[in-house]
């Protein structure tokens, strides 16, 4: 596939070739933004290379560099872009991935973007030109948008007309949201099939058809319109070029592989998994062992980068997503690789060696990352063993039941801490599903019970004597005092009283501190 005169390029060399090429084209090279987003309420994770330039594109931030390039770490596991279920089962979907990109903010536009893309792929990387195909926006009469003849004309300098394919609005018109910058785009696809298959079936029929070896590697977005609230389009004052190329897919093409997992982006991690588990890897999509290895190799990257960016696993929001991904990897290792003890944290040194130069935060946070992953693994393995035993027992006793009772799934979740998505995954492998409606109903009942349990009935304050409370705890641990007022409280059929004292050495619970505890005694009364 690659016609480079020397040995096949490594992933590190490919990444550096991209950076050096656009540096030579007067682009300012910026570091990857964190994968975990803290200052954008619309996103939990960076899911595209353009995220860190969003405010520039919207015109909210000034343009400091009109030409920019980088390699951006991205995560897609929820919402519109959710590749989680495909990961490990196919050759090219990932949770965490790198996006190589170049941008122009009011500088060059379609002509130069297409020239740069072609020069880099065909002249720098020496990809086989006969295997490249491009798509252009076919137009949309409903919105009075013509075919992108301009982009097609530029591509015609490099490719025959039959390999310049019309693409529909879904594939070839990019929009940031319901309103805002948008425009046509042009995708570059490559056919990685053997010559015999290429002769038998024309790749023109396979572009954008989810074929694992006829894949998109680069998307050039030409932002030239602004979508207004009424749906109409107006020209942007500063047109923007926004490109994104999948690094792992590019490595697959350059290194002559048929799977991203066969490139040196992943092979060092997979070899380490083989070494630790004693299992053997293959390219099979049916054998559970290689699927498990691919899942773990993918997921350890996601979890490590997230922790390095400051997001620890937790039970809420982005922290829950990371915990869910790590637990998914743990479960694959437990079930299919026989790993009953924590082991995923042992993959970190190999990951750091592979990617630590390009992303120094990974090396800087290696100790913390390893500690967090190990603790999470050990904690979940205890839950996993109990949950799987209970689930398998139920399934063996109800072999003919195709839909698991939602109450059972909820009991696993409530009593054992067994996540619903993990129950669904295990059932899916057995050709079964879970009654989600019933699970949600059980969950709602629990929430209602919790609300009722925490409901507090409060009586009126009874004034004993006038006065304001005085805190004396800085100097004294006990004091004589009087009750100023009290009231009756009731919670979960339990009655107690709140009291306010004229003097008190007890510091209240405040600012994250735990309140002081002690006893209140009356004269002539023993404690």
Per-residue pLDDT of the chain (527 residues; tens, 9 = 90+): 444 433 589 999 999 999 999 999 999 999 999 998 877 777 788 888 788 888 888 778 889 999 999 999 999 875 454 567 778 788 888 999 999 999 999 999 999 999 999 999 999 999 999 999 999 999 999 888 999 999 999 999 999 999 999 999 989 999 877 788 899 999 999 999 999 999 999 999 999 998 989 999 999 999 999 888 888 898 888 899 999 999 999 999 999 998 999 999 999 999 999 999 999 998 877 788 999 999 999 999 999 999 999 999 988 888 888 998 999 999 899 989 999 999 999 999 999 999 999 999 999 999 999 999 999 999 888 888 888 888 888 888 888 889 988 898 898 888 777 778 788 888 988 889 999 999 999 888 887 776 666 666 677 677 778 777 888 877 788 888 888 888 887 776 678 788 888 888 887 765 556 678 888 888 765 54
451 contacts: CB under 8 Å, gap ≥ 6? none
Mapped onto helix, strand or coil, the DSSP state of residue 238 is strand
- 11-260 folds as BirA Bifunctional Protein; domain 2 (3.30.930)
Domain boundaries, the chain: 11-260, 267-388, 399-455, 458-504
Per-residue b/e over 322-350, b at no fewer than 16 CB within 10 Å?
bbbbbbbbbbbbbbbbebeebbbbbbbeb
Rounded to whole angstroms, the Cα distance separating 434 from 329 reads: 21
49 contacts: CB under 8 Å, gap ≥ 6? 70, 72, 74, 99, 100, 101, 242, 243, 244
Specify the pTM: 0.77
Q: Which contacts of 462-465 are long-range, i.e. CB under 8 A and separated by 24 or more positions?
A: 462/486, 462/487, 465/502
Distances (CA, A) of 252 to 1, 102, 124, 380, 404: 10, 21, 16, 34, 40
């Amino acid at each position: 596939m690659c016609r480079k005169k020397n040995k096949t390029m490594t992933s590190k060399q490919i990444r550096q070739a991209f950076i050096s090429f656009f540096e030579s084209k007067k682009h300012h090279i910026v570091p990857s933004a964190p994968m975990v987003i803290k200052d954008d309420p619309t996103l939990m994770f960076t899911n595209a290379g353009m995220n860190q330039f969003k405010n520039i594109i919207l015109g909210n931030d000034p343009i400091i560099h009109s030409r920019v390039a980088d390699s951006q770490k991205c995560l897609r596991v929820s919402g519109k872009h959710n590749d989680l279920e495909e990961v490990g089962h196919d050759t090219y979907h990932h949770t965490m991935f790198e996006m190589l990109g170049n941008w122009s903010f009011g500088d060059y536009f379609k002509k130069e973007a297409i020239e740069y893309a072609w020069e880099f792929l065909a002249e720098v990387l020496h990809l086989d030109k006969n295997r490249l195909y491009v798509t252009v926006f076919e137009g949309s009469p409903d919105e009075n948008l013509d075919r992108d003849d301009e982009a097609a004309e530029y591509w015609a300098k490099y490719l025959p007309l039959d390999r310049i394919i019309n693409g529909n609005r879904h594939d070839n018109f990019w929009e940031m949201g319901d309103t805002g910058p948008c425009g046509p785009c042009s995708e570059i696809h490559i056919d990685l099939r053997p010559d015999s298959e290429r002769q038998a079936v024309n790749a023109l029929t396979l572009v954008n058809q989810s074929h694992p070896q006829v894949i998109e590697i680069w998307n050039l977005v030409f932002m030239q319109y602004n979508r207004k609230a009424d749906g109409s389009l107006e020209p942007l004052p500063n047109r923007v070029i926004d490109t994104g190329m999948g690094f792992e897919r590019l490595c697959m093409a350059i290194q002559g592989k048929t799977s991203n997992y066969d490139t040196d982006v992943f092979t060092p991690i997979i070899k380490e998994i083989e070494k630790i588990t004693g299992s053997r890897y293959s390219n099979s999509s049916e054998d559970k062992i290689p699927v498990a290895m691919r899942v773990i190799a993918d997921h350890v990257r996601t979890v490590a980068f997230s922790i390095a960016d400051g997001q620890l696993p937790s039970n809420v929001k982005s922290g829950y997503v990371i915990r869910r991904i790590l637990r998914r990897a743990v479960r694959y290792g437990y079930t299919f690789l026989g790993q009953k003890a924590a082991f995923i944290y042992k993959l970190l040194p190999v990951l750091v060696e592979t990617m630590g130069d390009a992303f120094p935060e990974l090396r800087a946070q290696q100790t913390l990352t390893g500690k967090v992953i190990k603790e999470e693994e050990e904690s979940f393995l205890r839950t996993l063993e109990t949950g799987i035993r209970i689930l398998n027992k139920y399934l063996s006793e109800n072999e003919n039941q195709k839909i698991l009772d939602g109450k059972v799934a909820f009991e696993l979740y409530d009593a054992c801490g067994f996540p619903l998505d993990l129950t669904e995954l295990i059932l899916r492998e057995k050709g079964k599903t879970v009654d989600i409606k019933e699970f949600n109903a059980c969950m709602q009942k629990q929430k209602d019970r919790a609300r009722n349990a925490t409901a507090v009935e409060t009586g009126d304050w009874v004034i004993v004597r006038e006065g304001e409370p005085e805190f004396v705890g800085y100097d004294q641990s006990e004091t004589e005092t009087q009750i100023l007022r009290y009231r009756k409280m009731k919670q979960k059929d339990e009655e107690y009283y709140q009291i306010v004292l004229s003097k008190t050495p007890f510091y209240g619970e405040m600012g994250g501190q735990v309140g002081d505890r002690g006893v209140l005694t009356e004269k002539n009364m023993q404690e």
